[in-house]
Each structure stands twice: as C-alpha cells, then as structure tokens.
Structure 1
C-alpha cells in the first residue's frame, strides 16, 4: 500500500503532450478497464497497442480512438490462454520493428474460469486459468523487458485483485502471484540504468463484464464505470514521475459512483 492521495490519483490527468510519442501496450484492451485505460492513454497522446483475444472488440476500440482524432493505435489479437513463449517473442519483435520502442505495459487481461472448491477443480481448467493469468503475463513481461529497459521512463502497471478467497481457486492463486511479480520486478529494476516503474492497482468492484459474470445478482448502477479508475494508471505511466515504484494501491470504497444517489 501507499500514502499517495487516492482522490487526487483518481482525478489525475497528464499535462498536455506528456504522452506524445510514447508507446503503451494494454492487455485486455477490448473491454472494461483495459479499454478505458487504452482510450485515456490515446487521448493523452500515446500510441497504444491494443491486445486482446476479442478481435471485434479490439476493432471497436481502434475505431473509437481513430474517430476521436488520437494517434493511430495498433491491434494485436492474442489469447493468453494458449499463447506460447514464441508468440510473446514475436509480439516484442513486431513492436520493435514497427514502432521502434515500448514505454509502458499494462497487464490488465484476466479470466477466472469458474468458481468452485479446490477439491472439485478440474485440472484442465486449472492450467487454462493459470496460463491466462500467470504464465501469460510473465512471459509477455519477460519478452518486452528489454524494450521497457531501453525507454527513458519505462513503466509496468498491473491490474491486481485480492482474490485470495474461497472458491476463487486458480485465479486467486494467480492474482496473488502477480502481487509477487510486482515486488520482485520493482526490486530488480530500482537502480539506474535499468530503472523501471513497477506498480499495481486494485480498482475494487467496477462495472465490467468480468464483474457481472461473477456477481450476476449485483446492481451495476452501484458500481463505478471503468473510466472512473483510469487516473492512477495514467499517473503510473506518466513519464514525469521518475521515482514511484513497488506500490500496489487499492481504490476499493474510494471511487465515486455516479448513480449511487438514485
């Protein structure tokens, strides 16, 4: 956790031109928080690489960014569940060849599979969930680390979640491991010349398809929209901050809900 002022982080927006020419890769960019973060980065001037398994969703986000007059994004369809180490290496090579750099990575994609007791967990489902939420993010990060290290202000932001709860199984264990990824990488990259910002954001409940799929009885009007939580992502990706690293902040209970009074 951190003593950063959460309301100020939620309201944070970069200075005009701060993200110009920055290249930022966002996973899970077709919907929800990933979409909102990708669109906010593009609005701030970044070239955004949109990664998701949902090609139609990616195309819709691409069109929204382009129609808004922001820098032209790139689409990279990839399913973390079945991607290989070579697939991630190819992705890094494509970014290097086509864009020449990578300044930020947002690990946001997530898939929980099914909620069930550990004793009933299907081994095949276990491997799929672990691949999507642990192996995939790790090998993707490993593949693009040389690009992030080469950036004057490289940043890695992880969408974390406290899922160490009954019935969350492989997803809960993978999210706990992502917390460890933040700790390990932030310590390995604290010193120049390889300094890399590595931080996490647990947004708490947000109005997304992921949330609705696991809490079907919940009233979505009582949850904040994804756009309400982009401020901290922009702060951690902003090249003006050269020191903040190793934090994993929680926004739960602090994000305004527009419909709460109705």
Structure 2
C-alpha cells in the first residue's frame, strides 16, 4: 500500500463500528487479560460473540474477568494461567495442544501482556530488569506465536495482533521497553513477509497511545489520568483486526490515537 492508502485504511479502522455478532463463534486468546487493555479487549470480544481464552499471570484477576463474562450470559471463557517470564516453550506447546483438544481451533491472538521496566539511561540499566522486559514483551511473544502457529494456520482467517508503542521508534530513557516494542514491530513485519503470499494468516500491530492504564500511570506519575482515553475508547482497532472484514489487512501498525 502507498502511504495515502495506509492512512485511509487506518482512519477506516479507527472509525470501525462493529456489528453485534461480528466475532460470533470465534476462539480468541488474549494475553494480559486480567487488567487494563487486555481485560477490556477480552470483555469486548466476548460481548461480540467470541469465546475468549484468558491468559495471564494472576489467577485471581483472570477469575474476575471470567466471572464478569459469565454474569452477562456471554460465551463461556477459559482461564490459561501463565507466567510469561518463566514459562518454557514445552509448556507453551502443551497449552497449544490443550486449546486444540478443548476447542478444536484458534482464530485469533491478542499479544497484550507487557511490562514497563525502568525509565533510565541504557548505561545505567539493570541487566536483570532488561532481560525480564525483553523476555515478557518480546521473547515470550515469539515463543507463544510459534507454539500456536499450526492452530492459527488452520483457521479460515487467522489473526495475530501484537502490541506496539509510540516509543517503538526508540526514545531516550525508555530503555528495554522501547527496544522490546521496536523488536515487536520487526517481528510483525517478518511474520508478514514470510506468510502473506501463501496463507490467509495475518499479522498486525496496534499502538494504543496514551491510555488510562496502570502502566501509563507508572510511566507518567504526574499526569492526570482523566485527560486520557480509556481502554474502552480505543477498542475499534482491536475488534476490527479480529473480524473477517480485516482478512486482507496484513503487516500494518495501527495507531489508535494518531497525533
């Protein structure tokens, strides 16, 4: 696509108004589903008809989301507890087998889980924190995508959505977080190049922008959260990329809040 075509597409995605059943019968996995954008995305997908697989580190938070979905009479979700910092590739493969056994397929993955790490010059950055950030934000994303790849390839219109950031073009003092998001966008592009011509599977990324989340509050402690959009405000792109309407959209980085 040309730049103008990309711009028009992104405007269309941000303005997307979903039909009430646009995700009916889809199976969608959401990482970091216990809080923030992941929680809202999981609830939104369920309201639009999807069976949501709630993946996260904190069982109690996942149970709260599960209960909220159940209380609304929506498709029964599933809880997949997983610590992305410590999980092995073998355990991820076992999770993929579990999904295939229990649900028969997987239509989409939202890689939402991330940690901020430290905001400090690279020369002072703690190597242990650096490794932790890269492991959760990037390495585990690659590993989980690879483990789920056969299931996603088998879907009629499989969709993988990565989470990027405005600092994916590295910004001073954002350290490992910025580098992890730059790598995430690169991963999205590589997967796209390697699959776009011979599969229906699609890879895209979303930059949520300044959103009212705990991570944002830690990064900007002096900021008034009431001046920011809520996760509910930015769901259009998250939904669109999981619908069949996005079947031809590949390798895009969608900014939910363009400057």
Indicate the residue corresponding to 2:209 in structure 1: 204
Indicate the residue corresponding to 1:116 in structure 2: 120
1:70 aligns with 2:65: no
**Corresponding residue to 1:40 among 40, 44, 57:** 44
Residue pair 1:111, 1:129 contacting (<8 A) in 2 also: yes
1:11-160 matches, cutoff 5 A: 11-160=15-164
Q: C-alpha displacement at 1:151, in angstroms?
A: 0.1
1:186 aligns with 2:195: no
1:162 aligns with 2:166: yes
State the TM-score, normalizing by the size of structure 1. Answer: 0.92
* In 1, Cα distance between equivalents of 2:134 and 2:60: 25
- 1:115-169: per-residue Cα shift (whole Å, max 9, x none)? 1111111121111111111110000000001100000000011111132111111
Q: 1:158 to 1:220 in 2, by over 3 A?
A: same
1:241 aligns with 2:246: yes
Greater than 3 Å deviation, 4+ residue runs: 4-8
- 1:71-93: per-residue Cα shift (whole Å, max 9, x none)? 00001111111111112111111
Indicate the residue corresponding to 2:182 in structure 1: 176
Partner SS for 1:71: coil
Larger RCO, structure (CA 8 Å, separation 6 or more): 1
Aligned residues: 253
1:227-238 matches, cutoff 5 A: 227-238=232-243
* In 1, Cα distance between equivalents of 2:93 and 2:124: 35
State the TM-score, normalizing by the size of structure 2. Answer: 0.93
Task: For structure 1, list consecutive stretches of 5 or more residues without a partner in the other structure.
Answer: 255-262
* In 1, Cα distance between equivalents of 2:12 and 2:232: 15
Residue pair 2:237, 2:256 contacting (<8 A) in 1 also: no
Residue pair 1:197, 1:236 contacting (<8 A) in 2 also: no
Q: 1:106 to 1:4 in 2, by over 3 A?
A: farther
* In 2, Cα distance between equivalents of 1:28 and 1:100: 23
Partner SS for 1:19: coil
1:217-236 matches, cutoff 5 A: 217-236=222-241
